[in-house]
Every structure is written in structure tokens, then in C-alpha cells.
Amino acid sequence: MSAEPSVSPSRVGVWLIGARGSVATTAVAGCAAVTAGLHPPTGMVTETGVFQDAGLPPLSSLVFGGHDVVDCPLPKRAEALAAGGVLPHDLPSAVGAELEAAEREIRIGGPLRGDTRSEDELVEDLARDIRDFVRRGALDRAVVVNVASTEPVPEGDALPASSLYAAAALRAGCPYVNFTPSAGLHHPRLAPQATASGLPYAGRDGKTGQTLLRSVLGPMFAQRALAVRAWSGTNLLGGGDGAALADPAAAAAKNAGKERALADTLGTVPEGETHIDDVPSLGDWKTAWDHIAFDGFLGTRMVLQTTWQGCDSALAAPLILDLARLVARAHEAGLSGPLSELGFYFKDPVGDGPAALGEQYAALVDLAGRLRTAGDAEDPGPGDVKGPAGEHR
């Protein structure tokens, strides 16, 4: 094996579940904009020196497609995002060809209203779409990334939509990233298949704002031996994510990850709750407010308050591009199972990794080193056919 990364121009598919959403559209438009030199790769960790020579696929090699359940064409979605100030106003026309190309690769997913397909039929249909995408594009591999609306925590044995897509990714032989708090591969029925697949996977729920800050501040309080009495938070946001999280069951899935970051860094669960309010007129702009009550020396009471005002999709999209490149390279290098080194990116990371952002960054840098020296693994490639709901035949 060569210590040099592969120089042959590979083509890597990025199959987005929720391909017509804000985050997906911003990722597709942003990738084209950075590739064309229209904008710098601000917010993309994989474009920093740490990943030089790590063999990551170049942005120009990424080919986009995906599933959604709505039919608004991607260029129209991009125009709406530009009108809302999420994308620069001239970007949709500047990258129109790339948006059209991705649009041609979007398929209607499921389950649809009144869908009568069995779980296995749905998984097979979804997997077929992914395999066809890989064949049509003569892609070396494809990474499936879930950026669909957040689901409530599943009850009972039936696979929720996110898990059907995750099973389809396994069945199509594709690595999988869950950028949402939905169950995805995390469903107990999929655990054996995830292990047996030998595919790398990462998740859950991108860490882009309030929880990013918590994973920095939590360790600070712990390391300075300051006693956190209560940590309360409120999020105001609109857009599709705000509407989805207006459902208390979906918000509960999101808040569990936010609270895990505190429990893991502080070592205890402090008093206080996190709330999410849908404010449609805010669109993609989120305000996240945290109120941290803590005790200093001799029990002196103090408070830290933070206000984070971010554009959600602009924070998330560069991470989608980072994760697609990292997981594609991990697959090429023969890594399998939960990629705990990617905990840096997630609220509720898979595997056993550190919870503090600094340590998570160190783990990511270690991964870059491993990828730099890994070469290419023997790779069965996408299209590996598996049995019902991801089981191997």
C-alpha cells in the first residue's frame, strides 16, 4: 500500500435524504460556489491544513442526489433561500447548472401518505434509487446523509422513515451519516445489520450552535471546579426545522442530544430545561439563549448568559460537505463501524469518544493522520445487495 493518497480523480456520490430541504440545498449550492472559487470555504474544517494529503475527495468530485417527499425543484428552493438571505442573492443563478444537475438526481422517497408498501419493499425501492444513482454516475462510492425533517422518538417495533433509509443505505453498500436526531441506524432492529455490513457510519444530530457552545463551556466549568447549579436554554427558530420541532415529540428527540452534551462534560445532569420555539418569521435564523447559574468559592452565586444568533443552514452545510468527504475517505481506507472520531460534529455521537470539543478536535486530527497513511482498501463498492431491511442475504 502506498503512503501517498490516491491521486486518481474519483467521483463520490452524496445521497441526501431530505434533498430539497434548507441544509441540503445550501450544501449543494455551497459546494458549487466554493468549487468555482466564488466563495472561500469558510466553516469547512476539511479545507484546513490538518486534512492536507489525507486523501479526501476534492469538492469538485462530489456528485449530489437524494430523496425527498416534496417536489419543489432545487433551483426554486435555492431562490427561496436567497430571497430569505440564507444564500447570497446571485448564487442560485451562478450555480444554476449544478443545482439542475442535482435536481435530476432527486427521487421521491417514502413512506408517502397512504403508502401500502411493506417495510422491505420500501427499503428495496429506496436502495434501488441509490444503486441507480451510483451506476448512472459511474461513481466510486456514495455516502448517504440524512438531513430530513426530525422525527419523533419511535415507539414500537416498526422502523421509522429515517431507519428505512438507513437500512436502504446498508443494502446499497453505502456508508451512512445521520445529521439529525432521528433514529436512523440507531434503531435496535438495525444494530446487527450495521455491524455485519462492515460499513463506516457517523451521527447523530449535527452540532452547530447551542450545543457546540455547550461542549466548550461545559468542560470549562468542570476544569475550573465551578459548580453548575442550573443550565437552562431556549431556542427560537423558523424554517422547516422550526416547524418540525414545534411537535413536542420531535423537539424531545433534539433536546435529548443537547442535554447529553451537558451530562457528559459536567459529569452530572444540572437542573434546567431546554426549549425550542417555532417563530416562522425568523426563517433560518436561530437565536439560542443559555442561562447558566453556578457557584464560585464559598458558594458565591454567579450567572453566565450566552446568546447565539446563527443562520442554521449556513452553519450546517459546510459540515455536511466535511462529513461526506471524511466518511467517503474512511470507506475507501477500509474503516468500518461507528466513526467515533467524528464526535466533533455531533450532539449525540456514535461510539465511545470524548464529549469536550477540544478533545473531539484532537480525535479528528488523529483520524486525519490515519487517513493520510491508510491508502485504499479492497472495496466491494456500492451496490452490495443485502436482504430485507438491511439483513445480509
Ligand X SMILES: NC(=O)c1ccc[n+]([C@@H]2O[C@H](COP(=O)([O-])OP(=O)(O)OC[C@H]3O[C@@H](n4cnc5c(N)ncnc54)[C@H](O)[C@@H]3O)[C@@H](O)[C@H]2O)c1
Residues that bind ligand X (CB under 6 A): 17-18, 20-23, 67-70, 109, 147-150, 161, 179-180, 205-206, 208, 239-241, 244, 312-313, 315-316
Closest contact distance (angstroms) between CB of 352 and ligand X is 22
Amino acid at 361: Y
Residue nearer to ligand X on the CB measure, 46 or 182 = 182
- Rounded distance between C-alpha atoms, residue 230 and residue 303, angstroms: 9
Closest contact distance (angstroms) between CB of 229 and ligand X is 28
CB 205 within 8 A of CB 348: yes
Q: Rounded to the nearest 5°, which phi and psi values hold at 233?
A: -145, 150
Residue nearer to ligand X on the CB measure, 5 or 240 = 240
Residue nearer to ligand X on the CB measure, 208 or 255 = 208
CB 207 within 8 A of CB 353: no
The distance from CA 210 to its chain's CA centroid, rounded to whole angstroms, is 16
Closest contact distance (angstroms) between CB of 143 and ligand X is 16
Closest contact distance (angstroms) between CB of 73 and ligand X is 12
- Rounded distance between C-alpha atoms, residue 61 and residue 47, angstroms: 14
- Rounded distance between C-alpha atoms, residue 388 and residue 393, angstroms: 8
Closest contact distance (angstroms) between CB of 220 and ligand X is 23
Closest contact distance (angstroms) between CB of 90 and ligand X is 22
Helix, strand, coil: what percent of the chain each, to 5?
45, 20, 35
What are the start-end ranges of the H helices in the chain?
Answer: 22-35, 74-83, 91-94, 96-104, 119-136, 161-171, 191-197, 210-223, 239-245, 248-266, 312-332, 357-374
Amino acid at 331: H
Residue nearer to ligand X on the CB measure, 24 or 292 = 24
Query: From residue 59, how far is each of 152, 217, 284 by CA, in Å?
Result: 33, 33, 25
Residue nearer to ligand X on the CB measure, 319 or 374 = 319
Question: Who contacts 248 (Cβ-Cβ below 8 Å, separation ≥6)?
Answer: none
Residue nearer to ligand X on the CB measure, 152 or 334 = 152
Closest contact distance (angstroms) between CB of 65 and ligand X is 13
Torsion of CA 215, 216, 222, 228, to 10 degrees: -80
- Would you say how long the chain is, in residues? 393
Closest contact distance (angstroms) between CB of 28 and ligand X is 12
Residue nearer to ligand X on the CB measure, 161 or 183 = 161
Residue nearer to ligand X on the CB measure, 239 or 390 = 239
